[in-house]
Amino acid sequence: MTTNGDPTAVANFINCLSVLEHNAYLLFTALSDKVSLPIVKSLLKSIADDDQRHSVILKCVSESIAKPNKPQDCAKNTGETWRIVDAFNLEISAKQRLSDEELSEKVEFLESVIGEDYCVLVQLKTLQVMINEINQIYKIDLRNLEDIFGNIINDEERHREILEKIKEILDAKNKTKSAILYPLKRC
């Protein structure tokens, strides 16, 4: 964001977060479509649904501030997460199905991406802290959006917890499968 007092800069930034959330929605939808375990499928779909909702909310917030430009510097503005989500989307879309083992690896990777460094989470926390400064510099009253940002932050933290649960479910299933395939011999 620049400090030239133009609200379009804030709108563009929030619009980039909206696009990133939409890309995350596409990723989690693709993952959900390519797994067979119903509980895992539904948990991934719930994350996708939240990300789609976040995308719509952030887009509306962006458009309420000013008419955002077409997203162009979003990859630069949102950091490494943009590149990772895009690359991961391409990789997942090229597969017909994901085995439990593959999904377990992907979930472990996603946990690290969605962890503390997850861009939307960090950026929204930053926006929350900077609301008073943004109000003064850009002449935009974002105080009423603080709760909206807080809800999205809470959802993102919950997504990390859901991914941890998915990993536990997959690990337990893989251990059971391994025990059936390779039972211990008794003396």
Q: What are the residue ranges spanned by the domains of the chain?
A: 7-181
Q: Each residue of 148-174: pLDDT tens digit?
A: 888 888 898 899 899 999 999 998 887
Predicted TM-score of the model (pTM): 0.81
Q: Give the pLDDT mean for 94-110.
A: 87
Instruction: Report the share of the chain in percent with pLDDT over 90.
Output: 30
Name the CATH architecture for the domain at 7-181: Up-down Bundle (1.20)
Which pLDDT score, from 0 to 100, does residue 163 have? 93
Two tokens, residue 30: 């693709």
Two tokens, residue 125: 């926390």
CA separation for the pair 50, 55 (Å, rounded): 9
Q: Each residue of 7-63: pLDDT tens digit?
A: 788 888 889 889 989 999 999 999 999 998 999 999 999 999 999 999 999 999 888
User: Which whole-number Å values give the CA distances from 187 to 79, 183, 184, in the listed order?
Assistant: 57, 13, 10
Would you give the DSSP letter of residue 1?
-
Residue among 40, 36, 37, 26 at smallest CA distance from 92: 26
